Amino acid sequence: MVPVNYYIVLSAILFTIGVVGVLTRRNALIIFMSVELMLNSANLAFVAFSSVIKSFSGQIFVFFVIAVAAAEVAVGLALIVEIFKSKRSIDVDQMSSLKG
């Protein structure tokens, strides 16, 4: 039997790696992937707690998070493609002007 604390610590570590990715990388795609990693670690905590209290609510929440992440990725990647078309780069440091 694995204590639930181990899952929570793992989830915290994965979340932190995602935070480091968002803060340090300059490639917009990698930043996006780090956000996915953070969502995923939150999902892991949800499922771990739902398994401990023997309720399905956590799993249903994860289901909704996955659906929202899919919608977010579709719109976000469309935005990245548009930015690349106008600036020929997806470096987030260069996205400093409001007008394309």
Partner 1 sequence: MSLDLIFFLLLSLISISTALGMLLSRNAVYSALFLVLNFITVAVFYLLLGAPFIAMAQVTVYAGAIMVLFLFVIMLLGAESIAGEFNWRKAVFPGALAVILAVEATVIFLTRARPVGDVAQPDASVNTVTNLRALGEALFTQYLLPFEVTSILLLVAMVGAIVLVRKEKRVH
Q: Give the C-alpha separation, 59 to 33, whole Å.
A: 22
Choose among 34, 32, 13, 23: nearest CA to 81.
Answer: 32
Question: Facing residues of 91 across strands?
Answer: 27
Nearer to partner 1, 18 or 98 (CB): 18
Per CB under 8 A, 77 contacts partner 1: yes
Minimum CB separation from partner 1 for residue 100, in Å?
Answer: 11
Under rule CB under 8 A, which residues in 25-64 are in contact with partner 1? 25-30, 32-34, 36-37, 40, 43-44, 47-54, 56-57, 59-60, 62-64
